[in-house]
Amino acid sequence: MNIGVISGDGIGPEVVREAKKVLDACSEKYGFEINYTDIMMGGCSIDKYGVPLTDEAIEAAKKSDAVLMGSIGGNTATSPWYKLPADKRPEAGLLKIRKALNLFANLRPSVLYNELKDACPLRKETADKGFDMIIMRELTGGLYFGERYTKEINGVNTAVDTLTYSEEEIRRAAKKAFEIASKRRKKVTSVDKANVLDSSRLWRRITEEVARDYPDVTLEHMLVDNAAMQLVKDPAQFDVIFTENMFGDILSDEAAQITGSIGMLSSASLNDTKFGLYEPSGGSAPDIAGKNIANPIATILSAAMMLKFTFDMDDVASRIEDAVKQVLKEGYRTVDIMSEGMKQVSTGEMGSLIADRV
């Protein structure tokens, strides 16, 4: 396996280190070889090269079978990176690599583990039902990639951001959503704002066309404001949520929070080959960087997703997922998911415990 590694900024290097520890344990147990290639992106790349992502870094990523990433960026209020023009900030590198690698499908599982129900901020009767959903977000179109500018019009400063989707962009993402749902509980909830936006009306029409090719999968439509409410009212109703770029960005963070900690949630960004970029859903958390207290589980579960989606090693991926559940069942917790009666451990200790269970 040729795996590119973007450790990134903040807690990124710490959590990536633990994911590699678990992958190496799998490599030893199951007899496969891993070659890691370090790739620089984000604030660390700005410091060294003046840009968040170099062309050489993109080429290194393209030569890899998959990329495992930590987190990039810093504190937007204090970091000097955010005084730079928008195209020179850390997140510009993230948008650039998604476009360069054609990573149009972002998968974010949101699962409430039985052992962590006490950390869920929802009402007890809601948390007791549990939930297990995937948010499938289109990643390379929409408002984030449309034309944008700020200029004076009739003497007034005016900002314009353009939301654009083609039917093919929608279709390829919808197919991915239905493929995933067909292997799960066979339900897709397509989230849009079709009562207002032309782009959402096209989104709805193309999604319905794709649905005809998956007769065993149920399709429902939901407006994004209602979806935001339903996520906190009854998250158990969802299987695969399929939505556009900005809506998915917002809803996936909401779905992350109701699990109790964003440090538990993995993600995968895929193209139309087996290649994928795998990263935790959370940010770089610069306030706790270097303290060895960050939760590495999201990054470890992202590595499990990599084994599943890129390398078709479902059994090994399940081994990692089971190891995570076992460690939680044994009462080990990082500080973000700590509760009374549990055993608090560091970032490194959590990674070692999971690697040992593998």
Catalytically annotated residue among 65, 82, 132, 144: 144
Strand partners, 139: none
pLDDT of residue 59: 97
Element (H, E) at 22: helix 12-30
CB neighbour class for 340 (10 Å; exposed up to 12, middle 13-18, buried from 19): exposed
- Give the model confidence (pLDDT) of 293-328 as tens digits: 999 999 999 999 999 999 999 999 999 999 999 999
Residue-wise DSSP of 206-266: HHHHHHTT-TTSEEEEEEHHHHHHHHHH-GGG-SEEEE-HHHHHHHHHHHHHTTT-GGG-E
CA distance 255 to 248: 10
- Which residue has 């989104």 as its token pair? 203
Q: Is 253 designated active site?
A: yes
pLDDT > 70 in the chain, percent: 100
Q: Is 38 designated active site?
A: no
**Dihedral (CA of 257, 263, 264, 270) sign:** positive
- 347-357 and 297-309 helices cross at what angle (nearest 10)? 40
pLDDT of residue 281: 83
Q: Per-residue confidence at 263, pLDDT binned at 50, 70, 90?
A: confident
CA distance 154 to 151: 10
Strand partners, 180: none
- Are 53 and 97 in contact by the 8 Å Cβ rule? The answer is yes
CA distance 133 to 255: 9
CA distance 231 to 7: 31
Q: Is 249 designated active site?
A: yes
Residue-wise DSSP of 71-128: E----TTT-GGGGS-GGGSHHHHHHHHHHHTT--EEEEEEE--GGGGGG--S-HHHHH
Element (H, E) at 24: helix 12-30
Catalytically annotated residue among 175, 187, 193, 325: 193
Q: Per-residue confidence at 82, pLDDT binned at 50, 70, 90?
A: confident
Provide the residue ranges of all domains of the chain, joining segments of one domain with +. 1-113+260-358, 121-258
The reply to whether 1-113+260-358 and 121-258 are identical in fold is yes
Distance from the Cα of residue 17 to its chain's centroid? 18
Asked if CATH classification 3.40.718.10 holds for the domain at 1-113+260-358, the reply, yes or no, is: yes
Q: Is 132 designated active site?
A: no
Catalytically annotated residue among 198, 225, 272, 314: 225
pLDDT of residue 153: 95
Q: Which of these ranges, 76-85, 169-178, 179-188, has the smallest mean pLDDT?
A: 76-85
pLDDT at 126 over 80: yes
Element (H, E) at 347: helix 347-357
Which amino acid is present at 224?
V
Question: Edge to edge, what strands does the sheet with 105-111 contain?
Answer: 35-38, 2-8, 66-71, 276-280, 266-270, 105-111, 132-138, 240-243, 187-192, 218-223
Length of the chain: 358
How, if at all, do strands 266-270 and 218-223 pair? unpaired
Q: Is 287 designated active site?
A: no
Catalytically annotated residue among 24, 65, 132, 253: 253
How, if at all, do strands 266-270 and 343-344 pair? unpaired
Which 3 state secondary structure label does DSSP give 11? coil
Of the candidates 37, 104, 134, 65, the one whose C-alpha atom is nearest the C-alpha of residue 274 is 65
Of the candidates 76, 9, 75, 63, the one whose C-alpha atom is nearest the C-alpha of residue 36 is 63
- Give the model confidence (pLDDT) of 189-214 as tens digits: 999 999 999 999 999 999 999 999 99
Which 3 state secondary structure label does DSSP give 50? coil
Asked if CATH classification 3.40.718.10 holds for the domain at 121-258, the reply, yes or no, is: yes
- Are 1 and 333 in contact by the 8 Å Cβ rule? The answer is no
Q: What's the mean pLDDT in 20-27? A: 98
- Give the model confidence (pLDDT) of 25-66 as tens digits: 999 999 999 999 999 999 999 999 999 999 999 999 999 999
Q: What is the pTM of this model?
A: 0.87
Q: What is the mean pLDDT of the chain?
A: 95
Catalytically annotated residue among 9, 192, 239, 249: 249
